[in-house]
Amino acid sequence: MKNKFLVFILSIYVVTVFSAGAFAAGGENIRDNIKKYADDIISYKLVSSEYDTVDEWIKDGIALGAGVISDWYAFALVQGYGYGVSAYTNALEKYLDGRKITSVVSAQKYALILLAVNGNEKLAASLAEGSVGGQGIISYVYGLHLIKNGIDLLHDGVDKIVDEITALQRDDGGWSVTGKVSDPDVTAMVLQSLAPYTSSDTVKSSVDKAIDFLSEAMLYECDYKSYGVANAESTAQVIIALSALGIDPFEDDRFIKDGKTLFDGLEKYRLPDGSFSHTEGGETNDTATVQALLAYISYLRFLDGKDSLFVLDSTGDETVGTESDTDNTTEESADGDKFAQDVTKVSYKVWVSCTVLGISALVSVVLVVAGKRNPKNFLFIFSAAAVVILMVFTVKLESRDSYYSDTAELFDPVGSVTISINCTSVSDKITGEYIKNDGIILDRTSFDIESGDTVYDVLLRAVKKYGIHMESSGGEGMKYVTGISYLYEFDHGDLSGWTYYVNGAVPSVGCDGCKLSDGDVIEWVYTLDLGRAFE
């Protein structure tokens, strides 16, 4: 009986220590857990980008990706850790110098980030000039953020933008880019922008309706769907919104189900290396990872009594037009809390392996106490641990350079297809280093295919082999290409964007659902009349 009791106690201990549910409502050390998960994302970026310190990452990684792939990480380091990121700031200003940003929302994003990183405020103001409302609801959202941080965008001020936003609220209480059914992701972004203005009865009423919508839309596992797919980013956006509104997801019953919170919902998408996937069980997704980081930072700011995430520490409500006196060269946080500048890269694989060995040891102790000392039991336990560790060490992390140099041959090709990418429809309107004057991004090129390969699979191989920028959204079975060679949907009108053709016809399925056959001809085309380019 005594042995059985000890076995029970030890079993409970093992389950408690290694339980995945780190964020149950009312749990202890919540702040420490949130801070650790945020720090783990930074550590993941150091490991995957092959930098030894945050300082190196800022100067040699984030700065090199300025304007393209690293902007929100720079924003996170400033708003979450208080870092100066002067190397990035200089690189972003150089990237934007003389560049025509045709997407209104992109221009607003650059303006906001410039303000956050103590960049040129006059440049930020010029980027944002006349942008409010130019690209639907999201351009109103960014407009409010910019006004809150000192950019004078409208003579009518905040009230006019707020009126426009509330007029676009759907009957169900939320907002969406299109259609009549609200989207949790878009709704959360709107609430983030309205948060500083809830003293207005009109705004408060609108916000209350939206909170009710988000509460009802939350899934059983405390995450959210966007466009029919449960994903990490939508969940992160809701956390940012609630934190901005002063609503604690750990305390508000509207966002707690079965003892779990939104942070449990977000944790579903967390991978062993500290990064996040777009959908549960998926691969690392950089957008999901940085949005999870921003969600953690937003909640930490809420706990620490700071302004919401998009009320910038570097600007507040200061007036635009004055040069910043802030010393951008410092790499220390404003409150003296440095994030391990001397952090060295300790591979997550080592930590995972140690954890596996620790669990194996604890299970062995349980067996010993229970009197089950058969050597076969221990052989099985440590053999299983060895298999897990072997799997961990075979996982491949790729830097950006190694990703683009990946030209691995297929195992069992069943034929070949050709793929081309062009934006000739706007070739007379665009200039830049990424697109040639004739608008041909990739001339017809042949790729081998395996059984079951899709249009999206071949596109991925093409952009990796030739170092072509590409961005997509949506989960498995719903992939949608939003940008190629930094040319995005809506850059040239409400119906502009990327579409694809197979053998001259428009397939009736998404690009990652369109399976290929030997001899197929794939064409990716930027059109101004989405879906009717070849009619």
State yes or no: pLDDT of 266 exceeds 70: yes
DSSP one-letter string for 72-105: HHHHHHHHHH----HHHHHHHHHHHTT-----HH
Q: Cβ atoms within 10 A of the Cβ of 455, count?
A: 26
The stretches of 172-323 forming alpha helices (DSSP H) are 184-194, 201-217, 232-244, 262-267, 286-303
* pLDDT 10s digits, 356-371: 778 878 888 887 777 7
Entry pTM: 0.64
Query: Could you tell me which residues come within 8 angstroms of residue 522 by beta carbon, excluding any fewer than 6 positions away?
Result: 417, 418, 419, 420, 455, 458, 459, 500, 501, 502, 516
Inter-residue contact 114 to 92 (CB < 8 Å): yes
Q: How confident is the model at residue 130 (pLDDT cuts 50, 70, 90)?
A: confident
State yes or no: pLDDT of 11 exceeds 60: no
Write down the pLDDT at residue 258.
92
Inter-residue contact 76 to 68 (CB < 8 Å): no
Residue 512 to residue 479: CA distance in whole angstroms: 6
Inter-residue contact 101 to 108 (CB < 8 Å): no
Q: Which comes out higher in pLDDT, residue 355 or 40?
A: 40
* pLDDT 10s digits, 78-94: 999 998 899 999 999 99
In this prediction, residues 380-395 reach a mean pLDDT of: 71
Residue 100 to residue 81: CA distance in whole angstroms: 32
* pLDDT 10s digits, 428-444: 777 556 677 688 999 99
Q: Which comes out higher in pLDDT, residue 450 or 22?
A: 450
Side-chain-side CA neighbours of 446 within 13 Å: the count stands at 6
Query: Could you tell me which residues come within 8 angstroms of residue 306 by beta carbon, excluding any fewer than 6 positions away?
Result: 313
* pLDDT 10s digits, 103-118: 788 889 999 999 999 9
12, 359, 365 from 356: Cα distances, Å: 17, 5, 14
Inter-residue contact 107 to 127 (CB < 8 Å): yes
Among 508, 424, 504, 510, CA closest to 459: 510
43, 87, 461 from 57: Cα distances, Å: 11, 10, 27
Cβ-count burial of 316 within 10 angstroms (0-12 exposed, 13-18 middle, 19+ buried)? exposed
Inter-residue contact 189 to 138 (CB < 8 Å): yes
The residues pairing with 449 across neighbouring beta strands, listed in sequence order, are 415
The residues pairing with 202 across neighbouring beta strands, listed in sequence order, are none
Q: Is the torsion defined by CA of 329, 330, 331, 335 positive or negative?
A: negative
- Kindly state the DSSP code that residue 442 receives in the 8-state scheme: E
Across all residues in the chain, what is the average pLDDT? 81
Coil, helix or strand for 39?
helix
Element (H, E) at 436: none
* pLDDT 10s digits, 177-233: 877 789 999 999 999 999 999 999 999 999 999 999 999 999 999 999 987 889 999
Q: How confident is the model at residue 393 (pLDDT cuts 50, 70, 90)?
A: low
